[in-house]
Amino acid sequence: MKIGQTASFTKTITETDVYMFAGVTGDFNPVHVDAIQAKESIFGERIAHGVLSSGLISAVLGMQLPGPGAILSKLDLKFLAPVKFNDTITATVTVRELLPERKRVIMDCKATNQDGKEVVQGESVLII
Amino acid sequence: MKIGQTASFTKTITETDVYMFAGVTGDFNPVHVDAIQAKESIFGERIAHGVLSSGLISAVLGMQLPGPGAILSKLDLKFLAPVKFNDTITATVTVRELLPERKRVIMDCKATNQDGKEVVQGESVLII
C-alpha cells in the first residue's frame, strides 16, 4: 500500500436498494419512502439514504483498499448533495497517510454521481 | 428541540440484515459473508457491517430527532466494537448544540449492544 494509491466501486442506486436499505436500517424517513411527501420536500422527489453511499465507501475499503483484514475504526463523512433514484454512484478511496507504528492507515473517501458531482466527501481510519 | 433531548431506536441485527446490506452496498467483505474465513479472523465469526449501525443512527435522526425535514450534513463515527449476528443494537441520539443562526443542530450519536457496550460513538450535524 502506497500513499496516493486509489480504488473505486460503481453502482447504480435503484428504488429497490433504497427500500431494502430502509427495511434493514429502519430508516423510513418520508424523504426516502413517501413519494407524495418527498415531492413537497426541497429535493422534489424521493432520494437515497446518505448512509447508503457510506456503504459503497465501506465496500471499497473492505474489499479493495486496504481490503479484507482491515478493520474500519473511524468514518467521517460530509453529505454534499442528494443521491436520486437511478443515480450511478462511484465510491473512491485514496491512501492519504500510513501510520505503521500505530497499525493505522488514513484514507480519503468520496462518492460522486454520473455527472462527476461529489455527493459524499470525507475520510476514514482503518486498523491494518 | 432542547439541549439534552434524546431519542433511540432498537433492532436485533440478523443474518438476513447483513446479507441484504451486503447486496445493497456491494460490501461482501469476507468478515461479513464468509463463515469459514471469518472464523479465522480476530472476531472468530461473521460480524455485521459497521455502516449498518450507522444506518440505525441515521434512522433515529431522520425519523425522530430532529425528525423528518432535517437533512444529514455530517456524520462522524468511531467503530468501537464488533456487532455480531443477533446482537440487539440501540441507536441513541442526543441534542448537544443548537445553532439556529446557521440552521444547524449538532447531535451526539451512539449505538450500544444488549450488554450496554458501546459499539459506535460519534456526532452528527443536521440542517434544520
pLDDT digits (tens, 9 = 90+) for A94-105: 999 999 999 999
pLDDT digits (tens, 9 = 90+) for A47-58: 999 999 999 999
* A99 Cα to chain B: minimum distance (Å): 18
**Which chain A residue lies closest to B14 (C-alpha atoms)?**
A24
Reading across the β-sheet that carries B118-127, which strands appear in turn?
A6-12, A88-99, A104-112, A118-127, A71-79, B71-79, B118-127, B104-112, B88-99, B6-12
In the numeric block, which cell numbers belong to residue A86? 437511478
Tell me: ipTM over 0.85. Answer: yes
Q: What pTM did the predictor assign?
A: 0.94
How high is the pLDDT of residue B69?
82
Tally the residues of chain A: 128
Per DSSP bridges, beta strands A118-127 and B118-127 are unpaired
How high is the pLDDT of residue A69?
82
Cα distance between residue B31 and residue A80, in whole Å: 30
Q: Does B52 touch chain A (CB under 8 A)?
A: yes
Q: Does A123 touch chain B (CB under 8 A)?
A: no
How high is the pLDDT of residue A53?
96
